[in-house]
Structure 1
Amino acid sequence: MDQRIAKLYEKVLAMPVPPNSVPQALFELGSASQTVHHAIEELYQQNEQLEQVQEVLGAEYQRYEELFEEAPDSYLVTDAHGKIQLANHKAARLLNIDKNYLVGKAIVNFITLEERQYFRNFLSQLSQSGRNQELLIRLQRRNGELFNTALTVAPSYDNQGKIKELRWLIRGITESRRVELVHIKEECDFSDRPIHSYSKGDIIPLNPQIIWLVSQGFVKLTTLCESGEEVLVGLADQGMVFGSYMTSLNTYQAIAMSDTKLVSIYVSEIIDSPNVSHTLVPKLNHRLRQTESFLAVSGFRRVQDRIYYLLRLLKQEFGEKVGNETRLSVRLTHEDLANACCTTRVTITRLLCKLKHQGKISFDSKRHIIVKDID
């Protein structure tokens, strides 16, 4: 194009009396050609950068694919209904079936007939709880051989909070180990212990030698800051633990937010009994992670960011699916939310009204918050 423009310009100059507009038009055409030339060069550079990024992503994908395939344990990826989407070589060998034939099959097909209904119930409850779960169950290889397994499943969610896929870790265990694990679960369900009942608003006594396990209800955990204001540091619902033994705060208070039933566990039992410690360690870990999350709320400089992050945390911890929306099972007052966000009740009320006006939250008839678009 540049060469053709140059030749045209030479011919015009060689004309006896060239029109005045023709050289100017050729100059403008040449300038436009240069602009197009520079744009093409930039596109070439961007294309090279995209190719480099594609190579990096390809290498990363290859790396993770190798990690998945060569993992020492058996892994499966299924949809929310248990239909297998991915399987590594270890899983194929464990089930005695070619890996290509695994994809598209339902994992329930490898469960013994006697336990299939139990497994389906487990899947249904998993979609409601939203937490990693472990299941002891017997699988059946393609040749009909039965074997004991411990399944650990981790759900993955989409932007609407629906389960997108399930990631399964499968480990074969011996019969003696299965009996041992079942024995641990049966022995440490604490169902035979005395129940301590508290009404809504009751202050729960704390003993440094006792850990409370929530059997029913909700408990609010608070402390006092230097200005004397109450600060929300945690919430405990069914299956969670709390107690003054688990904190170094000088001021620590537990208040029942509803009719609550608790089971007491002595710290000495955790130290002396491996079975008790095996049951409580995940619960203690859960409380630690929740406390850190509440602490992170106060780290945001803007109050609107604090309430937004807090609602996300509450949705994850205490959310119940109601159609396409999520209802917070715990009912927190504006004062409670203000204490968690280190601000005033008036500010929280204003921000909640703004979120409601934006369609991100709503309230049911019992004033429970329904989270619609907090991700």
Structure 2
Amino acid sequence: MNLDNFTKQVESINIRLEDLYEGVKTNLEIPLEIMPTAFKELGVISEELQVSLEELQQQNEELRLAQIALEVQKQRYQELFEFAPNAYLVTDEQGIIQEVNCVAANLFNVQQRFLIGKPLIVFIAEENRQLFHVQLTQLQQGKNTDKWNLCLLPRNLQPFKAELLVSKISDWEGNLIGLRICVSDTEAKLKAQLEKSIPAQDNSKSIFNSQKHTYLRGELIPIKHQTIWQVCQGVVKLSTVCENGEEILVGLVGFNMLFGAELTCLQTYQATALSKEVQLINVPWAEIANSPHLAQNVITQVSLRLRQTEALLAISGQRRVKDRFYQLLQLLKQEIGESVELGTRLNIRFTHQDFADACSTTRVTITRLIGKLQAQGKIKVDSKNHLILIEGNR
């Protein structure tokens, strides 16, 4: 039912009812004995309509809020799709590309916007195209998922063997309407090609000669295969997402530290700029492989990340929330703290929700703990909302 039309109908009934009341006062031909019953019934109808209107208004508001929540979730999963560490495609039932993430675009050596609407078969080596048609037909008629081994042909690059994990997208009636495809490189030809395009160097400064990329607080940083990021300025938050949608902190990456798809085994891996401004350089994995000095630097940074990961595991193992929060503050003090007159200031501004995600608790609980620690004189919040851990207190 259209809420606006229903509202107009109710208002029209109320106006007619008022007119009826006024008309009764001047029309003496209506039998007086039926008047009380008529007015009572009309009053009941009017009240019922008013209640129905209020219920519809409430339902309309609930639907509006649900739509907003769905849009937020849609945007969140779109970002996860876009910045996933693997190459992902969505096609229609005939294999026409409808969605593609940046990793897949790099894999095919074509900008994302030019891939939309193109048949996937144009990126398959000619000798495998007949096999692609056969496998597509079998999938349409059979099981929901399949694994294809095909030779892919990126634009202006050499073909390479790949594994395509394909799953069906069906409508409510079970009819095939599309395909989800995850593409993985299965041979070293692509890596060898990347290595040939970069001259071998044994210069520790080469890692700093790359172009710097800047991200502002809250921005997602794309994770690409065959490259790793090095932090030149600021702090990056690394996290993963559970099946229930909760975000879990898995690392904080500061100056000179590294992160990337090659340094994790997590399927869902997200990097977010935590500082007001984060500056990064993109280092090809092949350059590291060709430079013993850079490889040694990677080992050192991975060692630091391993220690931090162990500390985060120890924090998550604490049963009481207040103990988890305290140990997290001590870790942050060590990782990103700077000495001030009162004690140690965390040079990154964390929200209460950031602390809650890191401690696997609620924002309300963190707010209560911070208030308690402030009342005890153990922490202080400065004018820029940065926490100061006061020395000599726990």
Q: How does the TM-score come out when normalised to structure 2?
A: 0.47
Higher relative contact order (CA 8 A, sep 6+): 2
Q: TM-score, normalised by structure 1?
A: 0.49
